[in-house]
Amino acid sequence: MARGRPQRPYKCSWDGDLVEGLYKCPDGPWRINATGEKFSEPDERRAVQRFYEAEARHKAKAEPVLLPILRTDPIVFRPRIPARRRGSFSR
């Protein structure tokens, strides 16, 4: 995403709540700031609902799944001992 001034959150007309990440473009469509996706919806409440649904889908995709890794062979740590030179009995 490009750097710059952060977008102002959308303010709902019916209760004044701020919706972070949703922007009403001056020419009509709505834009989701995180993905850049634009959509047109004449009803403000339905646009906010659609934004929350898209945000939930996006978060569900981005959530990592941690899986345990099972090893069948045991990990053996052996100290590294330098090999003696053959024929060297002076020590």
- In this prediction, residue 29 carries a pLDDT of 93
Above 60 in pLDDT, residue 91?
Answer: no
- In this prediction, residue 80 carries a pLDDT of 72
- In this prediction, residue 13 carries a pLDDT of 87
Give 37-53 pLDDT, tens digit per residue: 999 999 999 999 999 99
**Consecutive H or E run containing 50:** helix 44-62
- In this prediction, residue 73 carries a pLDDT of 65
Closest CA to 22 of 60, 61, 62, 46: 46
Give 62-82 pLDDT, tens digit per residue: 666 777 777 666 666 666 777
- In this prediction, residue 50 carries a pLDDT of 93
- In this prediction, residue 49 carries a pLDDT of 93
Above 80 in pLDDT, residue 17?
Answer: yes
CA 65 from centroid of its chain's CA atoms:
12
